Amino acid sequence: MSHRDTKHTVNMRSAECNLQPRVQLVWFLSLALMLCSACGADHPDPSGGTRAPEQKQAEAKHIILITVDALRADRLGCYGNERATSPAIDRLAAAGAIFVNASVPRAVTRPSMTSFFSSRYPSEHGVLTNRHRVPDDEKLLAEHLLEAQFHTSAMVGASTLDSDRSNLGQGFNDFKLIGSDEQLTRSAENYLRSQFARKDRREFLWLHYMSTHLPYDPPAPYDSRFTDSNYAGHADGRVETLWNSFTGSEPFEESDHQRVVDLYDGCVAAADAWIERVIGALQASGAEQDTLLIITSDHGEELSDHNGFYGHRLSPYIAALRVPMVFSQPGRIPTGTQVEGLMTSLDLLPTALGWLGLPPSERARGYDQTASVLHGQASGRQFAMREMELEDDFVWGVRDQNWSWVYNPKELQFSFEHNGSTGTYPIPGEALYQVNESRAEDSNALAQQRELARKMQAQWEEWRAAMARGDASIDLDSEFAEELEDLGYLGYED
């Protein structure tokens, strides 16, 4: 897809207090400050909930974080897929803890990973697109761990996460951009067998896989594992094909859509196979019981759930914002723990620090979910906030346990012209969806539930009032712009 035959636009439719003696006031304020300092709640997320008690001692020597780009939760067996797409991840989930309702606030890689590592919202840290660099003053998870004498390493397969471009390398001793998931896995295996066996240091390792990101092109044997050998249509997982379907120049029939889902499931199976090898290397190092392993994603993926769209960047919906969240540490996490309460990516940093017995981050908006992992109890988080930037304006959202509210006050609409045809992604000005088991968000209940909608809007207004707008610089050259388009993003808009 070239810049010459692609263009895109965003269209807008538009009581008095009794004073106590001074000495009592000073004593009270001093006590309050000490208590606040002790609990680490200087910057609580105003979306409801309470923090878990701070851990007093380290519960793991090492941490491994595996993120699989654009991995949709419901395509995993442990999240309900009847196909055998993820046996390795399923085994980890069965032996550890799984969050059923985990989500991210923004369905774009760099903003999402910045929120994972900073415990702050995209509008707050300022990284709104894959073009924005992480500000130097954002203190990320790796920096906390580096201060605690961890050795910190990252191996990522996404050019959007390249340290020189993204500045996500803050706090990492080693940060490598690796060209393929096979190479990434081999590097991780070698690293685990050599470094995790050492007794003289603690490790934080981040692995980021690209298997499930556009284009949906799984390697053999996964390319044919779920596909119908009798299929004779034109659908495949190439970006060009999916954009042609979205714009209507080569529309899909149901069999074509199923072909794309089959290929995506093959990508999931490939990612699971890479992860199985990583687990094997961890076990071979002898450090499995000393290691907290977390598997999640930077965002989900729409598979024609709304407006015939395949991808994530345009979506304010659960399909693109819900992510898997699996915690594993044999001997520490009770087998089969399932957490129904809400969790967001902002909770990763506080949970990791709490798990290790480290001081909480002063600027974190998330919550320590340690008690959820250990006991299956909800953290008390009542809401999960969502935000999607379009041309310096936003589409917002609030999710609770049972409802999903979408708010598009300026009625932003995305239009995309490609090869002479135009596709649109309309988003209602306001919508309220009941979150059922399928999480389909396909029936707007706003007219019947206006009181509930106003309650969720009030929660959003409180949250917005507490957020200071961040500012991040933009760095984008023509080579990177073409890389983004190859990944299915819309050129410079992302």
CATH code assigned at 166: 3.40.720.10
Rounded to 5°, the CA angle 404-106-44 comes to 80
Q: For each of the chain's 494 residues, which pLDDT tens digit applies?
A: 333 333 333 333 333 333 333 333 333 333 333 333 333 333 456 554 445 444 444 489 999 999 999 999 999 999 999 999 999 999 999 999 999 999 999 999 999 999 999 999 999 999 998 889 999 999 999 999 999 999 999 999 999 999 999 999 999 999 999 989 999 999 999 999 999 988 899 999 999 999 999 999 999 999 999 999 999 999 999 999 999 999 999 999 999 999 999 999 999 999 999 999 999 999 999 999 999 999 999 999 999 999 999 999 889 999 999 999 999 999 999 999 999 999 999 999 999 999 999 999 999 999 999 999 999 887 778 999 999 887 668 999 999 999 999 999 999 888 877 778 888 999 999 999 998 776 778 899 999 999 999 999 999 999 998 887 666 656 655 554 555 455 555 543 44
CA distance 195 to 203: 8
Angle at CA of residue 62, ends 271 and 283, nearest 5°: 55
- CA–CA distance, 444 with 434 (Å, rounded to integer): 8
Residue 428 falls inside a structural domain: no
Please check whether residue 164 lies inside any domain of the structure: yes
Q: What are phi and psi of 156, to 5 degrees?
A: -125, 145
Is residue 426 situated within a structural domain?
no
Of 286, 353, 345, 351, nearest to 321 by C-alpha is 345
275 within 8 A of 295, measured Cβ to Cβ = yes
CA-closest candidate to residue 100, choices 399, 358, 309, 480: 399
User: Helices 181-195 and 254-285, interaxial angle, to 10°?
Assistant: 20
How much is the pTM? 0.87
Cα 60 to chain centroid, rounded: 23
- In angstroms, rounded to a whole number, what is the distance separating the alpha carbons of residues 167 and 181? 22
In a domain, 411, yes or no: no
Task: Say how far apart CA 303 and CA 423 lie, in whole Å.
Answer: 16
| pLDDT digit string, tens, across residues 330-358 | 999 999 999 999 999 999 999 999 999 99
Q: Which domain holds residue 489?
A: 46-382+469-493
| Cα 457 from Cα 397, distance rounded (Å) | 9
Taking the C-alpha atoms of residue 354 and residue 51, their distance in angstroms, rounded to an integer, is 10
Between CA 426 and CA 412 the distance in angstroms is 8
Query: Is 348 within a domain?
Result: yes
Distance of CA 258 to the CA centre of its chain: 25
* Cis-peptide, bond into residue 46, ω within 30° of zero: no
Cβ-contact 9, 492 below 8 angstroms:
no
Overall residue count recorded for the chain in this entry: 494
* Structure tokens, 184: 């990434």
Tens of pLDDT, residues 30-83 = 333 333 333 333 345 655 444 544 444 448 999 999 999 999 999 999 999 999
Q: What burial class does residue 269 get, using C-beta atoms within 10 Å of its C-beta: 0-12 exposed, 13-18 middle, 19+ buried?
A: buried
Q: Is residue 316 part of a domain?
A: yes
What pLDDT sits at residue 350? Answer: 96
Instruction: List CB contacts of 357: < 8 A, sequence separation 6 or more.
Output: 54, 55, 56, 57, 58, 59
DSSP string, 57-96: S-S-SEEEEEEETT--GGGSGGGT--S-S-HHHHHHHHHS
Residue closest to 144 by CA, chosen among 283, 351, 367, 325: 351
In a domain, 31, yes or no: no
Q: What's the domain count of the chain?
A: 1
Residue 152 lies in a domain: yes
